[in-house]
Amino acid sequence: MSSPQHSPPLISLRQVHKRFGTGAPVLQDINLELASGEFVSLLGPSGCGKSTILRLVSGLEPASSGEVRAPALQGGDAAQTAFVFQEATLMPWASVFDNVWLPLRLQGVSRSAAAPLVRQMLARVGLAQTEMAYPAELSGGMKMRASIARALVTQPAVLLMDEPFAALDEITRQKLNSDLLEWWQRQRLAALFVTHSVFEAVFLSQRVIVMGARPGRITAEVTIDEPYPRTAAFRNSIDYARACQALSQALESAHQGEVAEP
């Protein structure tokens, strides 16, 4: 088991329920823990409340009942938690540099004081040459790299990612998956990664939490007991294929009896 059960969890959800207004429950009885430095994926179909869990953990939405403990909710430093959305969500009127500077700028760090850190992050994500470019001038993959650089620039303890690579082509996606693991290991942050791709979840995660829809609930948890660094060779290994198969089965049994979405 790679999950470091002995250390106190950085994030925990206990018996969390969530509904919007008087609508049907979106999340039901969610119990989930994430240790410092752990990589966990949430896997499930659209509408199963995966993204809502990220919003609860980031403090963007309150839980209807139950307990959510996360750095973003404990008053401390706002920059402890970073969020990467499905779209790159860059400010189109600002250069790549200014976009990455934003989280520091909001904390009152001047442009010149932030510059070394911003440039270091841009170099890390491979955008050193494009700091003065505008988002409209970048490809989809480069935009997402800028978005990740913005998330990492505050050296957060928690990185929340909401299907960040879903809109990218397969080659770009695989490259970003490999790079993401490298950045994650380097910064030792806890990552909660939402995806609906079995292959992506297996490649990235130490644990995969499988969710079902209507209402959103956790139906299984699969541990991917493979060492890091995971390289392209891992994708071609028998172990990877076996893990994908096991996870697919877990996903399938989670949805037995459910009506397929239109």
Partner 1 sequence: MSSRVWPGLASLILLLLGWEVLVRWAEIPSYTLPAPSLVARTLVENFSSLAGSWWFTLKITFGALALACIGGVLIAAVFALSPPLERALFPVAVILQVTPIVAVAPLILIYVESTAAALLLCAWIVAFFPILSNTVVGLRAAEHNLRDLFRLYRATPVQRLRLLLLPSALPYFVAGLKISGGLSLIGAVTAEMVAGTAGRETGLASRILEASFRTETPKMFAALTLLVATGVLIFVAFNALSRVLLGRWHASESGRID
Pick from 7, 15, 47, 60 the residue near partner 1 by CB under 8 A. Answer: 60
Cβ-based burial of 178 (10 A; exposed 0-12, middle 13-18, buried ≥19): middle
- Per-residue mark of binding to partner 1, 65-94 (x: CB under 8 A): -------x-----xx-x-x-x-x-x-xxxx
Contact between 209 and 13 (Cβ < 8 Å): no
d(CA 227, CA 238): 14
The footprint of partner 1 on this chain (CB under 8 A) covers a number of residues equal to 24
| Residue whose CB is less far from partner 1, 20 or 93 | 93
- Per-residue mark of binding to partner 1, 99-128 (x: CB under 8 A): ---xx-xxx---------------------
Interaction of residue 130 with partner 1, rule CB under 8 A = no
| Residue whose CB is less far from partner 1, 51 or 195 | 51
Interaction of residue 179 with partner 1, rule CB under 8 A = no
State how beta strands 65-69 and 9-19 pair.
Answer: antiparallel
d(CA 189, CA 184): 6
Residue type, 208: V
| Residue whose CB is less far from partner 1, 107 or 129 | 107
Burial code (b: 16+ CB inside 10 Å, e: under 16) for 39-78 equals bbbbbbbeebbbbbbbbbbbeebebeebebebbbbeeeee
Residues of the shown chain interacting with partner 1 in the complex, contacts defined by CB under 8 A? 58-60, 72, 78-79, 81, 83, 85, 87, 89, 91-94, 102-103, 105-107, 134-137
